[in-house]
């Protein structure tokens, strides 16, 4: 799902990577590309317009955080806006009546009957007693399809007289109360297009039933048509949410980005396969991550932002630039890394890192290094040159390490320092070169 949109956005992000900082000029082009990608993904143009406005404002207004490259920062802004458009957080079903009533509505072929069964199966797994009601008396095969699905998941299906949906609904409720059912799911009539008679019937059922949830099922493959019918249904009925189906196909995904903005109602579930278990609660942040194809890298960025003291990070960077990075700073850096959790957890957030990589030795090293540096005096950390043999022995003893390990830490600090020097002199050469242009 979202492959096309994802591909286009990634291309856009690449175009600003390598740029020194976010500037008005490179943002304009990137924003234009994001706009085209969204329109091409069939996102409603009004939604795109607002989205773009917000991204642009944020991208230009935000300070570039020291540790992020401009493309990373831009991706984060786009991600945050995506989440906003998608609805910030998951809105669960609100089922307070006993029995709770869910009315499924939607156009024919949207996946209404299948989704009713998928939901029923989910509730059953949670230990709930469920009843499915076949109230779609117009599509010839709908009732038999529901009976078959019910059999497959071992959930009873109430059929009634197969003709009068109002009567079916009333009888089904009597049946549900008698059998102490927890949740009743009504599969109502769908038509090929929105028409008045259908709406009147649905309104009548809703009036009689007073459902806890009226969920409209929309087919992602039908793009803007789905958004238009969602609008019409929402005006006629008090919808409580949407289920967007067939996101596993080559749907361009625009529906999911438009629907909440256009109707003000949340997407509660998404359909991701024809199978009974192909239904997921809708989590805006996860879907935004999927759209961007970034997996959890974005959560990693969040984590860094929450845990790393940006002021301190900036100071460290400055010290680095001046070759003044001492063991005191090294220790500070180690502590910041540790604050973010175990290395294993962090690595898991990076796509492509095989799960079987053993990171425990790295973690042990990190702890050992911290212990060794902590056993030094402040004067030693500021000026490691003074660490002679007897000081080394004391540090080793204090940290529970051996002499070789202490030497190793000092050696890696020396190497780091040499690297820093080389980098800085290269940088100055480069900057001189550019000044001459
Ligand atoms: P209804 O007329 O709205 O009741 O639609 P159905 O439940 O009969 O679904 C129409 C078709 O869409 C069926 O072939 C379903 O298997 C299929 N379908 C429903 N949901 C999904 C989904 O999330 N993914 C895919 N790939 N197919 C789905």
- What's the pLDDT score for residue 120? 97
Look up the CATH number of the domain holding residue 107. Answer: 3.40.50.300
Distance 274 CA to ligand 1 centre (A): 6
Helix residue ranges per DSSP H, 23-164: 24-40, 45-61, 70-86, 112-125, 142-153
Crossing angle for the helix pair 70-86 and 24-40, nearest 10 degrees? 40
Distance CA 308, CA 320 (A): 17
Instruction: Return the pLDDT at 393.
Output: 95
What is the pLDDT at residue 231?
93
Name the helix (H) or strand (E) containing 321.
Answer: helix 310-321
- Residue tagged 């207004």 (tokens): 61
Indicate if 59 and 145 belong to the same structural domain: no
What's the 148 CA to ligand 1 centre distance in angstroms? 14
Ligand 1 atom 27, closest CA: 274
Q: How far is the centre of ligand 1, averaged over its atoms, from the C-alpha of 133 (Å)?
A: 18
Q: Do 206 and 270 share a structural domain?
A: yes
Tell me: do 127 and 73 sit in the same domain.
Answer: no
150 lies in some domain: yes
Q: Are 124 and 262 found together in one domain?
A: yes
The answer to whether position 303 is within a domain reads no
Q: Identify whether the C-beta of residue 186 lies closer than 8 Å to the C-beta of residue 205.
A: yes
User: Is 289 inside a domain boundary?
Assistant: no
Residues 73 and 110 in one domain: no
Cβ within 8 Å of residue 160, ≥6 positions away = 133, 134, 135, 167, 168, 171, 172
Last residue of a domain, one of 89, 114, 134: 89
Distance 256 CA to ligand 1 centre (A): 17
Question: How would you list the strands of the sheet with 157-158, edge to edge?
Answer: 157-158, 130-135, 183-188, 100-105, 213-219, 241-245, 267-271, 279-281
Cα distances (Å, whole numbers) of residue 197 to 18, 84, 106, 158, 209: 59, 36, 14, 24, 18
* Residue of 1, 104, 114, 188 with the most ligand 1 atoms within 8 Å of its CB, for mutation: 114
Distance 146 CA to ligand 1 centre (A): 12
Angle formed by the axes of helices 403-435 and 360-374, nearest 10°: 90
Below-50 pLDDT ranges, the chain: 296, 351-352, 355, 427-437
- Ligand 1: does its nearest atom lie under 6 Å from the Cβ of 110? yes
Structure tokens at 25: 């000029």
Q: Does residue 111 line the site of ligand 1, with CB under 6 A?
A: yes
Q: Is residue 298 part of a domain?
A: no
Task: List phi, psi (to 5°) of 305.
Answer: -65, -40
How many independent structural domains does the chain possess? Answer: 3
pLDDT per position as a tens digit, 343-376: 666 655 554 455 455 556 667 777 888 899 999 9
| Within a domain: 324 | yes
Query: Which pLDDT score is estimated for 343?
Result: 62
69 lines ligand 1 (CB under 6 A): no
Is there a single domain that holds both residue 212 and residue 345? no
Taking the C-alpha atoms of residue 363 and residue 70, their distance in angstroms, rounded to an integer, is 30
Identify the residue whose C-alpha is closest to ligand 1 atom 16: 274
| Structural contact between residues 275 and 250, judged by C-beta atoms closer than 8 angstroms | no
Task: Report which ligand 1 atom has the smallest distance to the Cα of 139.
Answer: 2
Given this model, what pLDDT does residue 107 score? Answer: 92
| Residue 213: strand, helix, or coil | strand
In the reported structure, the alpha carbon of residue 272 is separated from the centroid of ligand 1 by a whole-number distance in angstroms of: 10
Which of these three, 37, 55, 89, is where a domain ends? 89
Q: Which atom of ligand 1 has the smallest separation from the CA of 187?
A: 4
- Decide: 249 in ligand 1 pocket, CB within 6 A: yes
Sign (positive or negative) of CA dihedral 191, 193, 198, 199:
positive
- Asked if residue 296 belongs to a domain, the reply is no
State the closest ligand 1 atom to the C-alpha of 112, by its place in the atom list counted from 1: 3
Question: Ligand 1: which of 138, 147, 274 to mutate, most ligand atoms within 8 Å of CB?
Answer: 274
Based on the fold, state whether residues 138 and 60 are members of the same structural domain. Answer: no
The domain boundary, picked from 42, 62, 89, lies at: 89
Nearest CA to ligand 1 atom 6: 111
Q: Is the CB of 246 under 6 A from ligand 1?
A: yes
Q: Token pair of 391, please?
A: 């000081």
- CB of 269 sitting under 6 A from ligand 1: no
> Do 247 and 340 fall into the same domain?
no
CATH at residue 362: 1.10.260.30
Residue ranges making up the domain that contains 38: 3-89
| C-alpha to C-alpha distance for 258 and 264, rounded to whole angstroms | 10
- 131 and 269 fall within a common domain: yes
CATH of the domain at 85: 1.20.120.140
CB 415 within 8 A of CB 426: no
Residue 50 token pair: 């607002």
Annotated binding site: 106-113, 187-191, 245-248
Instruction: Indicate which residue's Cα is closest to atom 19 of ligand 1.
Output: 111
Cβ 248 under 6 angstroms from ligand 1: yes
Check whether the bond before 402 is cis (ω within 30° of 0): no
Binding-site residue ranges for GTP = 106-113, 187-191, 245-248
Residue 300 lies in a domain: no
Between CA 142 and CA 330 the distance in angstroms is: 68
Same domain, yes or no: 112 and 189? yes
Cα 263 to Cα 359: distance, rounded to the nearest angstrom: 48
Let me know if residue 192 belongs to a domain: yes
Q: How confident is the model over 144-173, as pLDDT tens digits?
A: 999 999 999 999 999 988 788 899 999 999
Q: How far is the CA of 109 from the centre of ligand 1 (A)?
A: 6
CB of 108 shorter than 6 A to ligand 1: yes
Q: Based on the fold, state whether residues 62 and 186 are members of the same structural domain.
A: no
Relative to the CA of 217, which ligand 1 atom is closest? 3
My answer on whether 105 and 249 are in the same domain is yes
């Amino acid at each position: 799902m979202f492959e096309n949109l994802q591909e286009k956005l990634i291309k856009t992000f690449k175009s600003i990577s390598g740029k020194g900082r976010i500037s008005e000029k490179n943002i304009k082009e990137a924003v234009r590309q994001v706009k085209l990608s969204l329109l091409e993904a069939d996102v409603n143009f009004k939604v795109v317009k607002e989205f773009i406005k917000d991204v642009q404002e944020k991208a230009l207004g935000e300070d570039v955080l020291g540790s992020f490259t401009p493309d990373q920062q831009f991706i984060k802004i786009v991600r945050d806006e995506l989440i906003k458009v998608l609805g910030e957080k998951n809105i669960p079903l609100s089922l307070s009546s006993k029995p709770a009533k869910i009315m499924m509505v939607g156009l024919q072929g949207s996946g209404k009957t299948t989704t009713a069964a998928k939901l029923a199966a989910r509730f059953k797994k949670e230990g709930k007693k469920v009843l499915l009601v076949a109230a779609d008396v117009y599509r010839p095969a709908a009732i038999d399809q529901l009976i078959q699905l019910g059999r497959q998941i071992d959930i009873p299906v109430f059929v009634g007289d197969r003709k009068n949906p109002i009567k079916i609904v009333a009888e089904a409720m009597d049946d549900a109360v008698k059998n102490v059912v927890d949740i009743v799911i009504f599969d109502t009539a769908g038509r090929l297009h929105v028409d008045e008679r259908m709406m009147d019937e649905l309104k009548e059922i809703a009036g009689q039933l007073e459902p806890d949830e009226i969920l409209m099922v929309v087919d992602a493959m039908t793009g803007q048509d789905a958004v238009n019918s969602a609008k019409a249904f929402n005006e006629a009925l008090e919808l409580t949410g949407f289920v967007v189906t067939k996101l596993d196909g080559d749907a361009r995904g625009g529906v999911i980005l438009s629907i909440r903005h256009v109707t003000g109602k949340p997407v509660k579930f998404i359909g991701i396969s024809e199978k009974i278990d192909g239904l997921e609660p809708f989590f805006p942040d996860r879907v935004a991550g999927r759209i961007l194809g970034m997996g959890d890298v974005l959560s990693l960025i969040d984590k860094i932002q929450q845990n790393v003291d940006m002021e301190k990070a900036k100071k460290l960077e400055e010290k680095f630039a001046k070759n003044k990075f001492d063991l005191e700073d090294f220790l500070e850096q180690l502590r910041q890394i540790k604050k973010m959790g175990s290395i294993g957890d962090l690595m898991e957030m990076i796509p492509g890192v095989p799960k079987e990589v053993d990171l425990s030795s790295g973690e042990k090293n990190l702890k050992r290094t911290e212990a060794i540096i902590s056993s030094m005096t402040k004067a030693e950390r500021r000026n490691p040159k003074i660490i002679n043999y007897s000081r080394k022995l004391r540090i080793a003893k204090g940290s529970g390490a051996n002499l070789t390990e202490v030497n190793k830490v000092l050696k890696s600090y020396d190497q780091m320092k040499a690297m820093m020097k080389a980098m800085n002199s290269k940088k100055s050469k480069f900057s001189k070169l550019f000044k001459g242009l």
